[in-house]
Structure 1
Amino acid sequence: MTPEQEQKLLKSLYDRLFDAVTFTPEGGRETSFGRETTFVQFSKNEALRKEDFANAMSPTNPQGDQRSALAFSEMVDQVPNVAADYTPSGRKLSETYKLIVDNANTRNDVDPEQKRIYDQAYDFLNQITEIPNFDGSPTAVPGPTPIVQTYNNNQAAYVTAYSGYRAAQNGYNFDNLDDQRAWQAVAPALQLNVDSTWNRWVQQGKANVERAQNALQTTINDLTSAAIAAAQSQMSDARWMSPLPGGAKVDAFICLTHRLGNRRKWRNRLLIKEFIFE
């Protein structure tokens, strides 16, 4: 394969993947990845072992393995260079975020009514769950409320459904008459899956959760000081975990719940980054 052919093939793969993850179904339905704010990168010749990330410590698994959390943190705690292929810039995401919040400053006063609305919306979306320990002292773990967890699950199902629809559609050559007829045979079932996951999402509180999320957004301007203070507390030195032998310290903010598939290795890692510009 010539370099020109390789570039053409890679461009085709990028275009198909980007099209699949940013696909917006008909009927004004929303997409989780906007075309204007999504950036896709490939990480070449990188193998991942699921055993390295098994039973990782996280907010939902506080008794998990710190070594797995460290491995996951080191994998995701990278600011990539802006290029077609993924390459780490050498800058840590956690350190960059900490630098931003530590140097942030605001003198906005908090309006009591705005704070009341903010607190109501926050409590609607978040809860503290106590996980028992063997010594009788429970661990308090922050997480989503049941309606938010249902929202997240339904959103994931919907995104999977319409991404599957788009990926399947991209597999057909519509210049070919046989492919045109074959697509007509499978499209209704795929569309039904998109419709059913969307309807389930709507019926199980989508509007309620988004109303609370919007309340947070509309009151956040008066709570900028509180938000910055909370972020500074989250990224304070006291939050960093003690270093493990041979590894850097792990910020608890980066120890996120994750899910890996059943395959032992991935030769290429697909990274989908969404940037929000305000």
Structure 2
Amino acid sequence: MTAEQMNALVQGIYDRIFDSATKAEPGGKPLANTAKTMLTLMKPGMAINPNDYRNPWTPGNTSGSQDAAVNTARLVDVIPNANSLYEDSGKTVTQVYGDILNSVSIPVQKKDAALDAQIDAAWNYLFRIVNQTDPDTGAVTPKTIESAVYRDYLDNQSAYQNARLAYVGAYLAAQETPQGKNTWPLVAPTMQIPVKQAWDKWRANFADKVEQNLAILATSSQNSLQKAFNKAKEIFEGYGVTLDDSGGGLSPKIERVSLIPSNWYSSSDTTGWTTVKVSAGNSIANASSDYKSFGASAGFSLGIWSVGAKAGGSWSSQHFSSETNNLSIEFSFKFVGIRRPWMSFHLLDTKTWNLGNFSPKKGGISNGTKTQQKTMWPLMPTGFVVVKGVKIKATWAKSDWDKMQSALSAGGQVGIGPFSIGGSYSQSHSSETWKSAFANGEITVPGVQIIGWMNAVVPYCAPEDMP
């Protein structure tokens, strides 16, 4: 089996996941815009220890795990480079977004009392201020949080989007075989039930009124930028909590996030998964795929087998022996949505403001396209791809089969394509390791892991140079 065939197999995985978000069944509407969405595929995936994320602390769940809340916030805070192969840029969403709010410079605009009142009314419908008491000092601090109706709207919207993604994934899977195409009309009505239920629940809970107020904020912000940015800063600061306290009084605040579905780390969950099977030599490569255009193909062409030292060490890529043949991979995947209630993302798409010395040149935060190299915030992670039930099968060369097991036995980390097959948990405080089962030419991977991130291209900003 050639390196080109193996690379095409990984591209088949990439395209299938990306298409689930950016394509639709006949008559349907894609949930994401191809030109403004990028999938960044990991090499290899990130195995998840459920204990690191289960039952996170929230103001309404003060008995929850503070570690889980911190782990969740940090998991989704990384800004990736604009590359279809996942790369950590070294910057974080909260860092750059906070710096933008602190640095923004806006030309003086004429006061409009009626417009300000309209913005205040919309803001008060979507958010509320609550007093939060520090359990150690007793100090009371006002915090801005979502209103119950807005929080329910976002939860129900995410549930609907996940149901739609699962439906589109099932539709695309059915189109891959003649039998699947023929039977799809029979199974589609049943598959549509959870989509319709999620839609009805979303729209029935004041969705129109929420969207009316969101539209007021979005359309009025340009005419009252200073007020809009001040409100955004108020919301951002209102969500910061100190959960990772070192005891020195200088610990940074954590901006809480929530993930939909909340039990995303569970391998026993049966809702919303799409099963995919790809085989080397049978994958049809899309020449216009982001996989080829934005770096993933080059990264995986170095070898789809990844071997690393113990946690924190470097990785090396290797090719399988030419004697390894008939490689096939089966897995189930679904999307996990990221909610950042403290972010006013729409403000990045407004005009006439600049960022002073923080980013003197316009377009320094993002140029608004997928082709970016030196910008601060090219992509905004909006969700990630989790997989379970991974089975990797081949007619293995003995040298490959033995080397993989040897590396795992030595405590190393091993991956095949975007899948990890053993090692340690990257975010865990525990030193626990894990590995897959090897039997009869098949590698069975336990648990859940993240293999990729769905990202929105950040709008062109700042819109103006520093004067």
TM-score category of the 2 structures, normalised to the smaller one: 0.7 to 0.9
Question: Deviation string for 1:185-212 (max 9, x for gaps)?
Answer: 1012223443443344334322221111
The residue that corresponds to 1:22 in the other structure is 22
Matching residue of 2:68:
68
Q: What are the ranges of 5 or more consecutive residues in structure 2 without an aligned counterpart?
A: 268-445, 461-467
In structure 1, the partner of 2:396 is none
Please say if residues 240 and 249 of structure 1, whose CA atoms lie closer than 8 Å, have aligned partners that are also in contact. no
Moved more, 134-143 or 265-274: 134-143
- Number of the residue aligned with 2:78: 78
The corresponding residue for 1:36 is 35
Q: Distance in 2 between matches of 1:51 and 1:249?
A: 23
2: distance between equivalents of 1:15 and 1:192? 26
Q: CA separation in 1, counterparts of 2:132 and 2:243?
A: 23
TM-score, reference length from structure 2: 0.50
**Structure with the bigger percentage of helix:** 1
User: Which of 158, 161, 170 in structure 2 is aligned with 1:159?
Assistant: 161
SS in 2 for 1:184: helix
State the secondary structure of the residue aligned to 2:210: helix
Change (3 A) 1:249 1:92: farther
> Would the aligned equivalents of 1:56 and 1:69 in 2 still touch at CA under 8 Å?
yes
Cα deviation, 1:35-94, whole Å, max 9, x if unaligned, reads 222211222242221212334344554565443333333322211122222121112222
Q: Which residue of 1 aligns with 2:421?
A: none
Label 1:126 to 1:233 Cα distance change in 2 as closer, same or farther (>3 A). Answer: closer
What is the one-letter code of the residue matched to 1:50? Answer: P
Q: Is the 8 A contact 1:45 1:267 kept in 2?
A: yes
| Mapped partners of 1:132, 1:97: distance in 2 | 26
Residues 102-148 of structure 1: per-residue CA shift (max 9 Å, x gap): 22111224411111111111111223456899899988664333332
Distance 1:17 1:184, change over 3 A: same
What is the alpha-carbon distance in structure 1 between the residues aligned to residue 450 and residue 159 of structure 2? 24
Aligned residue for 2:120? Answer: 119
Q: State whether residues 53 and 72 of structure 2, in contact with CA within 8 Å, keep that contact through their aligned partners in structure 1.
A: yes
**Matching of residues 130-145 of structure 1 within 5 Å:** 142-145=144-147
Change (3 A) 1:115 1:126: same
> RCO higher in 1 or 2 (8 Å CA, sep ≥ 6)?
1
Deviates more, 1:79-88 or 1:202-211: 202-211
Structure 2 partner of 1:89: 89
1:266 to 448, 451, 455: 448
Matched to 1:215, the amino acid is: I
Question: Retained in 2: the 8 A contact 1:46–1:267?
Answer: yes
Q: Which amino acid aligns with 1:171?
A: A
Amino acid at match of 1:94: T
1:213 CA drift (Å): 0.7
Once the two structures are TM-superposed, the CA of residue 95 in structure 1 deviates from its matched residue by 2.1
Q: Which residue of 252, 275, 278 maps to 2:457?
A: 275
State the SS of the aligned residue for 1:84. Answer: coil
Question: What is the match of residue 219 of structure 1?
Answer: 220
| Contact 1:169/1:183, CA 8 A, preserved across alignment | yes
Matched position secondary structure for 2:34: coil
Match of 2:270 in 1: none
Q: Which amino acid aligns with 2:265?
A: G
Task: Tell me how far 1:166 sits from its aligned partner.
Answer: 0.9
1:176-215 aligned at under 5 Å gives the runs 176=178, 178-215=179-216
SS in 2 for 1:39: strand
RMSD: 3.5
Conserved 8 A contact 2:53-2:265? no
Flag the structure with larger Rg: 2
| Structure 2 CA distance for partners of 1:180 and 1:113, relative to 1, 3 Å | same
Q: How many residues align?
A: 272
TM-score (norm 1): 0.79
Q: 1:169 aligned to 168, 171, 187, which one?
A: 171
Matches of 1:222 and 1:90, distance apart in 2: 35
CA contact under 8 A between 1:23 and 1:162: conserved in structure 2? no
How far apart, in 1, do the equivalents of 2:246 and 2:135 lie? 27
Larger strand proportion of the pair: 2
Specify every segment of 5 or more residues in structure 1 that has no aligned partner in the other structure, as ranges: none
